Structure 1
């Protein structure tokens, strides 16, 4: 992804919070259990007990998941706004607007591109402690982590992030620099460097011409942004 696309996103005033009424976002398929919406739903009452003005903005498709979350929230559902599926432009605006982005996934995540998007847009990040997420968040330096599938720990970490804005700001500042490691420009340069090393070693370890051609084409396609 291109970091600057999210870094340049304009906040939406309707999605921005205040110290008394912070906004907290979730993005993901609502009816996919691994995305962790129900973990967040279970944590929301505990967050509201300490921050009664907090607002939760939930974006994603999946009516069944939304209905399950509403049932679990009960009287606390008034603090939650379901945005449905949103465009890429609105996703960037949402991440640029909120105080915190929550990634409560329970597994099956090989990378965590949405964390990179959230960091690029300037949101404070709170994520489950999956190995992939910890690596993207520089082992917690670029975002706070909680025990996966533990709503009480999620609520604790969210409240700590809201109640210690200096620590949250420090993580966001680190994320602004750290996230550049995942920009396509940096990734492409790293891939090209590896490819050049492989070519340079060709005399010692011969590379099949068709394999070299495929690698070269893959790099071109990466720069063009997709398959052709």
Structure 2
């Protein structure tokens, strides 16, 4: 399909999540990408699931349809597995997609995760529109690494996603290799575009130093260093390693305070945190669980933190790491998945290794190294400051929103066979 380069590119995006408020990474990515593309002059329509009321959100160049399940689907939901329920919702996305395409035909249909690949591909076939999907997570084999058995129905959908019928965008080179190794998808069909976000909430604040001092006083004394974790409370995220390393850190630096901002998302996660709180009960005065915190409040927490932790057992590409870099906080993270690509060990952050635990495919965080890295930065504030500044520079050089938008546009251009006008000037103004 050949199109005049002077016409704005039009894309239809299908996702089960939109905005960080729904779940996390996928919703954040779709929200940031859609608004970034719109800011670059593209015409973007998003169809996304919502558990609430049907809503249409409009911004310049961007229309978002938040779609709840129909009454008919809700009536049979109890009889359906999670995966079958998601597949059934795809039938409803197809109906909405047909109406959107009838009003304005997109140049590209872009789906996210396996959750919306059925509807995107069906619409692509019906209207002869090229389709691309973004992979944000892989169940096989990664879930076994933290002792979770992947859902067989989910694996069936993943195999369909990576069957080679549509090109794939993924969020890290590590994910590209893993998809290729697991499903045999040709490397030339897998494009890498790193995650990015609007860093404004983390780099600019209307609050005074006195406000931050009052906020810190709610969780620590003025002289107490704060170590911050933000993200889901889940075995994948290395939560048990945070507690075990905290015990070692507090034995040498008893005035350190640990803040964990995030909510559980399953019975397994709730049970895990309950057991950890029992096992490390003597530490609970110095480890605070804050629950799920909205992103604006996360930005405030970063401002009072001395160190940020992302000790995941595997991470495709975490927004929590980018938020720490945007806040100019020194980052300690595991060297797994996309995390190993975010920072340069010893320069823009510190890496902690992951080891096999000796039980099948399970892996675990090197707790001693995690504790040692924290103590190294707590005992050398000047080094911590240099690492934080280097991490902030790396964010803007490699992981800016402009890079994510251009990366996706490059793939759109390739699959649509159209020339896309250079969005650089618009991106500089919009991002």
Deviation, 1:190, is 4.8
1:155 and 2:371 matched: yes
Q: Distance in 1 between matches of 2:399 and 2:240?
A: 29
Q: Select the structure that is richer in strand.
A: 2
Let me know the Cα RMSD of the aligned residues.
Answer: 2.7
TM-superposed deviation, 1:157 = 0.7
Counterparts of 1:112 and 1:29, CA distance in 2: 11
Question: More deviation in 6-15 or 84-93?
Answer: 6-15
Question: Does 1:25 find its partner at 2:232?
Answer: no
Contact 1:20 1:51 in 2 (8 A): no
Counterpart CA distance in 2 for 1:71 and 1:121 is: 33
Q: Paired residue for 1:124?
A: 330
For 2:307 and 2:263, the matched residues in 1 are separated by 20
Query: How far apart, CA to CA, are the structure 1 residues paired with 2:309 and 2:350?
Result: 10
Question: Which residue does the alignment assign to 2:258?
Answer: 56
* Distance in 2 separating the partners of 1:112 and 1:138: 16
Residue 279 (structure 2) pairs with residue 88 (structure 1)? no
Give the match for residue 204 of structure 1.
Answer: none
Distance 2:304 2:281 in 1: 26
Q: How many Å apart are 1:126 and its aligned residue?
A: 0.8
Kindly tell me the number of residue pairs found equivalent between the two proteins: 204
Of residues 386, 390, 393, the one that matches 1:170 is: 386
Instruction: Measure the CA separation in 2 of the matches of 1:127 and 1:175.
Output: 12
Superposition map of 1:39-50 within 5 A: 39-50=241-252
Q: Distance in 2 between matches of 1:85 and 1:65?
A: 16
Offset of 1:137 from its aligned partner?
Answer: 0.9
User: Residues 231 and 320 of structure 2 are in contact (CA less than 8 Å); yes or no, is this contact kept in structure 1?
Assistant: no
In 2, the alpha carbon distance for the partners of 1:74 and 1:174 equals 37
Q: State the TM-score, normalized to the length of structure 2.
A: 0.43
Return closer, same or farther for 1:139/1:44 CA change in 2, 3 Å cut-off: closer
Cα deviations by residue, 1:88-147 (Å, 9 ceiling, x for unpaired): 11111112220011111011x111221111110121111112142121013442111112
Is the radius of gyration larger for structure 1 or structure 2?
Answer: 2
Which residue of 2 is the match for residue 113 of structure 1? 319
Q: TM-score, normalised on structure 1? A: 0.79
In the TM superposition, residue 189 of structure 1 has moved relative to its aligned partner by 3.7
Give yes or no for the alignment of 1:141 onto 2:341: no
For the 8 Å contact 2:344–2:350, the answer to whether it is kept is no
* CA distance, structure 1, for counterparts of residue 320 and residue 276 of structure 2: 21
* Partner Cα separation in structure 2 for residue 212 and residue 49 of structure 1: 61
Contact 2:231 2:263 in 1 (8 A): yes
Residues 97 and 19 (structure 1), Cα distance of their counterparts in 2 relative to 1, 3 Å cut: closer
Structure 2 unaligned runs (5+)?
1-196, 265-269, 355-364
Whole-Å Cα distance in 2 between the matches of residues 120 and 171 of structure 1? 13
CA offsets 1:39-92 (integer angstroms, 9 cap, x no match): 111111110011110001111112434312211212111111111111111111
Aligned to 1:185: 402
- 1:142–1:171: 8 Å Cα contact kept in structure 2? yes
Offset from partner CA, 1:171-223 (integer Å, 9 cap, x none): 1111121111212123324555x46xx96xxxxxxx77xx236x96xx9xxx8
Q: Which has the higher contact order (CA 8 A, sep 6+)?
A: 1
Moved over 4 A (4+): 16-20
SS class of match (1:78): coil
Paired with 1:64 and 1:84, the residues of 2 have a C-alpha distance of 15
